[in-house]
Structure 1
Amino acid sequence: MLNASLNKSLYSVIALLVLVMGLGLITSTAFAADEQSSQQQATTRTSDADLWRAVKAGESGYSTDKGLESNVLINVVGNEGKIARDTYLKPAIALAVVGVFAAFLVFYLVNGASKLDKGFSGKMVARWSQADIWLHWIMAVACLLLMVTGILIMLGRHFLAPYIGEGLWAGIIAFSKFSHDWAGPVFILSWLLCVIKWMPLQTFKLYDLKWFLVVGGYINFGPFKGKHPDAGFANAGEKMWFWTLVFFGLFVSVSGLMLVLPNLDLPREASMLALLVHGVSAAILIAFTIVHIWMATVLSEGGMECMVSGYCDENWAIQHHNLWYDEIKDNGTLKYKD
């Protein structure tokens, strides 16, 4: 009887030990599995963070697409270029349009136009050929169309789109894009012909420095009043405008072709650089074009007639381009309108 009780007790103890060992094994296995899962989750979180950090930094990965920069999800240069465009380029274009126009409006209201000291003579002197006039106006119309449509494309969403319907805005922006693309080649060709044809007349001379010192004789008050500096066929201001058109016209033309031609397949860096160069060059040309229009139409009495008929009043020629007038008078090429 005693042996039976002892054996039963031993069996109970052994069973209890087996149960405890089993529970311990299960618990340690579960703990190890949980720890391994936690480590895997931590590794996954770290890997995801590293992955997106690399993506945002512009690092390349792998893609089955073999196109240019297809392995890059986020182009850093593209984002930085967009920030530069919005932060600096858009305000520069707005300043070129509003600021320069407003400055010349104030100048005109204070100073008035530059009148002819002796009035109009009634004698019209030949100044520009018909080919010159056609070239000028073809380039001028193309240039103005490019400027207006470019401003709409760049800034229209800020000053126009909020005040008109979405359908009308869509039509305006689509027309602007179409017109901008097709006016470009016209401008480039006419610009190139004008540069070749007019460059010999645009070399700077020593007397041009005085023109700048007395502001071209356009000031109607103070010590500058009545000062008419020497000038050849083109005065110093016209020469400065011409060479601005030469260099920045080249920049805006090349960068525009880079942006509009689909088969170039440029990297994003080159495209963004072209966009920024295009915008900066356009802002400078817009500012100088506004100055040019003010000078030709408002500030210089009799100046607009030159590019309408090709002739200028003799007193206008003597007052604003005296060296050129003396030259054509001396060499016998002075020609009056019949």
Structure 2
Amino acid sequence: MRLIQYLLVSIFLTGAAWAQETSEPTADERTSTGGATTLEDILARQRGETVDNSYRSENTGQGNAEGLLGQLGTRGVASDSDVYRALRYGSADVTVSSHGPADSVLIQDGGMWWLTFRTGPLREYGTYIVAGMLGIILLFFLIRGKIRIDGEKTGRTVTRFNGFERFGHWLFAGSFLILGVTGLLTLYGRDFLIPVFGKEGFAALAQGCKWLHNNLAWAFMLGLIIVTVNWIAHNIPNRVDLKWLAAGGGLFTKNSHPPAKKFNAGQKIIFWACILLGVSISLSGLSLLFPFEMPLFAKTFQIANATGIPQMMGLNLPEQMSPQEEMQYAQVWHVMVAYVFIAIIVAHIYLGSVGMEGAFDAMGTGEVEEQWAREHHSLWLEEVQEKEAGKTATSPAE
């Protein structure tokens, strides 16, 4: 009988707890707390459910003065909780001694979505992008192997890139690699490096990463300009690129070498991706470096809303932003572009080094094996040889 009694009591308590957990807070329950947090709100947060905060954001003591007369506290007719809510949701009349553009924003509640998105979906899907590219490269290597020079090497070399071209490339590439590493350490460091180095060790590392990231951005932008000026004329698409793409660039079959000029269609795609992503990530980076002088997203959203496209997609893009919100949007966009950029550059590094025989020489010494040039850039090699033949023909005989 005692066992049965215990079972009945357990079932009763479980049912009561279940009923309490599944119940929504009613207006009466909210009123009974004076508009404050209810037990159901607390339980819902513990279960990881979304709680409607309108009872806070709409209850900041503004317009409730008559009901509070005679109950004056340390904040006049508004309680301490009312003042906190008004500060949190931006309805407080704040006066500060300093006059910076963001000094009057004491609490920015909107920053919570940024923190949640930055440490959640942004990192998760960004990791999938980079890991996915690494997986594709590994699969390609296992199936295709290293792309080697098919014909017999001649022992002669052809100048592919001069010193200034290589300088611009390595300035752009080297600064990007350091920016990528320091950015990833900043993004993932709290979770993975604090257990290794401790909080003080990670703080020193994070400070160093921040300094490098901010200052090497200028080298990256200079390299971007040099690369653009050097090669934009050679990367205009043409009909030859369509033939190259139709043949898959010869990457998937041996002894297949579609004709190409100085840059083939694949290299042109990477070039334009680097230019567009480089400009975008530079602009968002400048916005982060100078948030009060160079806000980008409020103006961008105004232009986007004017087209009507966001509304068709059910989006309501904000057109008025505090400096903090501008920085949050800029940081999210900066990281999104960086993930795509890193994935593309990883593929480029593979094909330009271990993935293709002779490819690294183009940027290493600037000289490439003549047979390599004939197989991968035959039209460009013909142009070079014609120019050399013309120079020989016009030079005076000894």
Equivalent of 2:229 in 196, 199, 203: 196
Give the C-alpha shift of residue 74 in structure 1: 3.1
Identify the match of residue 103 of structure 1 among 136, 146, 155: 136
Q: Residues 75-154 of structure 1 correspond to what in structure 2 (within 5 A)?
A: 75-154=108-187
Q: CA RMSD in A?
A: 3.0
Residue 288 (structure 1) aligned with residue 317 (structure 2): no
TM-score by length of 2: 0.67
Q: Is the 8 A contact 1:241 1:288 kept in 2?
A: yes
Distance 1:206 1:96 in 2: 31
Structure in which a larger fraction of residues adopt helix: 1
Using the TM superposition, name which of 234-243 and 37-46 deviates more. Answer: 37-46
Quote how far apart the aligned CAs of 1:178 are: 1.4
Task: Count residues with an aligned counterpart.
Answer: 296
Higher relative contact order (CA 8 A, sep 6+): 1
Q: Which residue of 1 aligns with 2:303?
A: none
Q: Is the 8 A contact 2:261 2:378 kept in 1?
A: yes
Larger Rg: 1
- 1:98-150: CA deviation from partner (whole Å, max 9, x where unpaired): 33223212221222011211143211111110111122112221111111111
Cα distance in 2 for partners of 1:68, 1:37 equals 35
Q: Which residue of 2 aligns with 1:155?
A: 188
Does the residue aligned with 2:354 lie in a helix, a strand or coil? helix
1: CA distance, partners of 2:390 / 2:106: 67
**Which whole-Å CA distance do the structure 2 matches of 1:61 and 1:39 have between them?**
20
1:248 equivalent in structure 2: 277
Instruction: Select the residue among 259, 267, 288 that pairs with 1:230.
Output: 259
1:324–1:63 CA distance, 2 compared to 1 (3 A): same
| TM-score in terms of structure 1 length | 0.77
- 1:151-173 Cα offsets, whole Å, 9 max, x none, are 10111222332223333322221
Letter in 2 for 1:218: L
Determine if contact 1:142/1:184 at 8 Å carries over to the other structure. yes
The question of whether the paired residues in 2 share the 8 Å contact of 1:125 and 1:334 is answered with no
The residue that corresponds to 1:6 in the other structure is none
1:179 is displaced (CA, Å) by 1.2
Cα distance between partner residues in 2 of 1:37 and 1:258: 46
Where structure 1 has 5 or more consecutive residues not aligned to the other structure, the ranges are 1-35
Identity of aligned residues (%): 31
**Residue aligning to 1:61:** 93
- Kept in 1, the 8 Å contact 2:68–2:78? The answer is no
1:203-246 deviation digits (Å, cap 9, x = unpaired):
111221332333321114xxxx4332221100111111111111
Matched residue, 2:244: 211
Runs (5+) with no aligned partner, structure 2: 1-65, 296-322, 392-398
Alignment partner of 1:328 is 2:360: no
Paired residues for 1:259-298 under 5 Å: 259-261=288-290, 264=293, 267-298=323-354
8 Å Cα contact 1:124-1:313 kept in structure 2: yes
1:7-26 mapped onto 2 (5 Å cutoff): none
